[in-house]
Amino acid sequence: MKRTLVLAVDRDDDFGVKGKVETPVIGIDKCIAAANALGIADPEDSDLNALYAGISTCKELRNENDVEAEIALICGDEKVGYRSDLKVVSELEYVLDVTKPDNVILIGDGAEDEYIYPIISSRAHVDSVRKVYVKQAPTVESSFYVISKMLSEPNKRKRFIAPLGAIVLFLSLFMLVPDMAIFFTTSDVSYLPSISRDLVVLVIGVALLLYAYSITSRWTSFTAFLKERILARGTRLVMTSLALGIVIISAIVCYYEVMDTFYTTWLIAVISYMSMMCWPVTIAAMVYMFGVMMDDAQEESIIRISNLFDCFSLASLGLVLTGLLDIVLVLLTPGADGMSGVLEIFIGIVISVVSSYIKKLYRPSAEVE
């Protein structure tokens, strides 16, 4: 007797994410339970109809005398791509080992699942592929409703809206930059309408990207987290603010110092500015790490030795970068002495090697109560 497997495929794992169904699912009764779970969670999901179509197909095949049919549901991952396809292949191989079918009938809900059909056909003999579409009234209102429901899911927004927003954004920049360059060069007011048009297109592109990546919800979560940290008087937030203040103030002070100093070339001025900013940035990073250590000590009553040695690593990195920039300045400024740069690099390497060695010794006891 010919043994046929009816295989329902859900590449983006709506059954697992929405219905909390553990896959693979084998058998009509278990597939009906999985369909009920997804139907209760999201009655409008098209994967629900695909699984019901697979159950119906399996029952029809069982009514034939010379066919022994079984149905199975396999799912991928919420992040559609390489990880999802690996999960589908793993579940497929398990189902094939259990059912040992002679042929397979694939059931899917549209173009999304078509990408994995070649993967399945390379591991099993596929006789038929069936796509299941939900019937809708052919009106503009119903079509708009279906599109709006589809775009309400974050994954589909990223897949369809994000590329469109990126294209609109780059096209607007492609048009806006030349118009603004001509306007600021010639002060010709006739370019203002073109600039206004380009700005409108730019705003549309930015809005599409913000909508595609759910920036509003992310911003709400960030503000809630920030409010919680402020109310909890988190030391990490205070130290982060202090570190940012050090970087901003140092950037302004170093800028004016470079502007008040005469340099033969702009390259030397830029390298000098970078050399001046090395230690303020390093100190700011060390202040942030100190905030992390204090936050751990307050919330979890532990001090992580690894964070302490990270401060030494930052100091060695600051010394090495400063030394390299000083050597570059020596090469660009004839007659200058480069021994200070060599000494800074040597001290930085010594600190890095010693801290790495001590950190390795203390790695088994990385936390101190």
Q: What tens digit of pLDDT does each residue of 133-179 get?
A: 665 544 444 555 556 666 667 777 777 788 888 899 889 888 888 88
* pLDDT value at 3 more than 70: yes
pTM of the model: 0.45
Are both 253 and 336 inside the same structural domain? yes
The answer to the question of residue 219 being in a domain is: no
Contacts of residue 48, defined as CB under 8 A and 6 or more positions apart, other chains included, come to 35, 38, 39, 42
Are both 269 and 359 inside the same structural domain? yes
- Counted residue by residue, the chain has a size of 369
The answer to the question of residue 218 being in a domain is: no
Are both 178 and 237 inside the same structural domain? no
pLDDT digits (tens, 9 = 90+) for 77-96: 887 777 888 888 899 999 99
Is the model more confident about 277 or about 127? Answer: 277
Are both 206 and 279 inside the same structural domain? no
Is the model more confident about 250 or about 339? Answer: 250
Are both 205 and 297 inside the same structural domain? no
The answer to the question of residue 80 being in a domain is: yes
pLDDT digits (tens, 9 = 90+) for 214-245: 787 777 777 777 666 655 556 777 788 888 99
Contacts of residue 156, defined as CB under 8 A and 6 or more positions apart, other chains included, come to 150
Give the residues across from 2 on adjacent strands. 67
* pLDDT value at 56 more than 50: yes
**Domain range for 153:** 140-213
Q: Distance between CA 334 and CA 342 in Å, rounded?
A: 17
- End of a domain among 183, 213, 243? 213
User: Is 19 in contact with 85 (CB distance < 8 Å)?
Assistant: no
Give the residues across from 367 on adjacent strands. 304
Q: Angle of helix 235-259 relative to helix 266-299, nearest 10 degrees?
A: 170
Give how many domains the chain has, as a whole number.
Answer: 3
Are both 277 and 250 inside the same structural domain? yes
The answer to the question of residue 179 being in a domain is: yes
Are both 105 and 165 inside the same structural domain? no
Are both 118 and 179 inside the same structural domain? no
- From residue 231, how far is each of 196, 218, 267 by CA, in Å? 43, 20, 46
Query: Which whole number is the average pLDDT over 343-358?
Result: 84
- End of a domain among 186, 213, 240? 213
User: Is 108 in contact with 102 (CB distance < 8 Å)?
Assistant: no
Confidence of residue 249 (pLDDT cuts 50, 70, 90): very high
Are both 234 and 348 inside the same structural domain? yes
Are both 230 and 349 inside the same structural domain? yes
**Encoding tokens for residue 304?**
């992580």
Are both 364 and 231 inside the same structural domain? yes
Phi–psi pair at 81, nearest 5 degrees: 155, -140
* pLDDT value at 55 more than 80: yes
Confidence of residue 317 (pLDDT cuts 50, 70, 90): confident
